[in-house]
């Protein structure tokens, strides 16, 4: 490889982790986190910005505006800084402080909405604020990751072909659903080339994407409070819904083996484990996509106080190998929550 000249030129597409020993089931994890934005969202960011430049929506004085709980915000701030655009990220109080700081360090502006919308929660409020900003600022361009075809196309042209090349015997692919860009792009590609692999969507309980009832969620990345326009159930074979308790348990188990993954990775792996237990065999060749690593969740998923505050001291104690008391003092400040895409 030559030198990296633009931050988005580096995106490792060949990192696959065999978690068979840890999960007690053969699952290969394709890691999408080894790039300067630290997550799978770099692909969507580059794809949507490039398309908006090509169709003339983005001009040199444009300001990109987007609703994001973090990872797309970080990725867009990387691309915007590199290509000379302004960037405004509209988020909510549940986004991680670390992601907000990273966006600001890259020159972006962060706006935090404080009131959830009655019907669609914080996502509804964020979208309303984005629309309002665009109405009042003619230079603002909203890429709208929930409806933008170049979100899923990024995975149609990169992620899915990468997996097919690297894992020719693929039987089943597990993909988490946020905007469903990764899911829809990968599933459409496999269908279009006539690949026999099944595609299983994994989502968080409390998400409305596949018609479930909304309920509070604290772990960002997967799930929505408003069905994304780009979701396409016709190309997926099954859906597994996972509780956040199981996500946290899986994160801690993987960390115990030295793999510090983000929450959505663990959600997908819980879904994979369950689905394979019911439908897989010893020779089933399974791949799961990992959107990011765990260092951006040190104040939440990997923080005992946060876990105790949101899921209970009893649950926290159940995560520990021996009998012990959670290290939580009543009323102690817990870092802000994260949640949604
Ligand atoms: C950590 C994490 N996991 C999963 C996803 C879901 O990806 P997609 O929006 O392609 O469905 C996101 C999206 O922001 C994410 O940040």
Q: Are strands 109-112 and 198-204 parallel, antiparallel or unpaired?
A: unpaired
Mean pLDDT per 10-residue section of the chain, whose length is 341 residues: 92 97 94 98 98 97 94 97 98 87 97 86 91 96 97 98 97 98 98 98 97 92 93 98 98 97 98 97 96 95 96 95 50 38 53
Closest-CA residue, ligand 1 atom 16, reads 221
Q: Measured from the CB, is residue 179 less than 6 Å from ligand 1?
A: yes
In the chain the domains, ranked by start, together with CATH numbers, are 7-35+148-296 (3.40.50.1100), 41-142 (3.40.50.1100)
Q: Which two tokens stand for residue 316?
A: 């926290």
Q: Measured from the CB, is residue 292 less than 6 Å from ligand 1?
A: yes
Residue 279: what pLDDT?
Answer: 97
Residue 5: what pLDDT?
Answer: 96
Q: Distance (Å, rounded) from C-alpha 209 to C-alpha 65?
A: 23
Ligand 1 centre distance from Cα of residue 341 (Å): 6
Closest-CA residue, ligand 1 atom 6, reads 178
Residues 92 and 71 sit within 8 Å (Cβ to Cβ): no
Full-model pTM: 0.93
**176 burial class (0-12, 13-18, 19+ CB within 10 angstroms)?**
buried
Closest-CA residue, ligand 1 atom 5, reads 221
Residues 178 and 221 sit within 8 Å (Cβ to Cβ): yes
Residue 136: what pLDDT?
Answer: 96
Ligand 1 centre distance from Cα of residue 149 (Å): 15
């Amino acid at each position: 490889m030559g030198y990296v000249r633009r931050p988005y030129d580096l995106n490792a597409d060949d990192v696959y982790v065999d978690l068979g020993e840890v999960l007690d089931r053969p699952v290969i994890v394709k890691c999408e986190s080894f790039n300067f934005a630290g997550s799978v969202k770099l692909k969507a960011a580059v794809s949507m910005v490039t398309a908006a430049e090509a169709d003339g929506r983005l001009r040199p004085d444009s300001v990109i505006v987007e609703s994001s709980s973090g990872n797309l915000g970080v990725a867009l701030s990387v691309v915007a800084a590199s290509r000379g655009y302004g960037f405004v990220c509209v988020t909510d109080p549940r986004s991680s402080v670390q992601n907000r700081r990273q966006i600001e360090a890259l020159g972006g502006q962060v706006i935090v909405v404080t009131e959830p919308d009655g019907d669609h929660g914080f996502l509804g409020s964020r979208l309303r604020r984005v629309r309002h900003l665009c109405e009042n600022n003619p230079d603002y361009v909203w890429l709208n990751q929930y409806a933008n075809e170049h979100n899923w196309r990024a995975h149609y042209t990169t992620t899915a072909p990468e997996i097919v090349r690297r894992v020719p015997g693929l039987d089943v692919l597990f993909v988490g659903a946020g905007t469903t860009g990764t899911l829809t792009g990968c599933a459409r590609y496999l269908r279009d080339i006539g690949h026999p692999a099944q595609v299983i969507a994994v989502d968080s309980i409390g998400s409305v994407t596949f018609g479930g009832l909304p309920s509070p969620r604290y772990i960002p990345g997967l799930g929505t409070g408003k069905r994304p326009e780009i979701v396409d159930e016709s190309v997926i074979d099954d859906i597994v819904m996972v509780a956040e308790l199981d996500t946290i348990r899986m994160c801690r188990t993987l960390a115990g083996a030295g793999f510090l993954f983000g929450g959505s990775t663990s959600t997908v792996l819980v879904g994979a484990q369950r689905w394979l237990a019911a439908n897989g065999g010893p020779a089933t060749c399974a791949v799961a996509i990992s959107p990011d690593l765990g260092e951006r969740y040190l104040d939440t998923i990997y923080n005992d106080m946060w876990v105790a505050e949101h899921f209970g001291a009893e649950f926290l104690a159940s995560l520990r190998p021996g009998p012990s008391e959670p290290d939580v003092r009543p009323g102690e400040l817990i870092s802000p929550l994260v949640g949604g895409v």
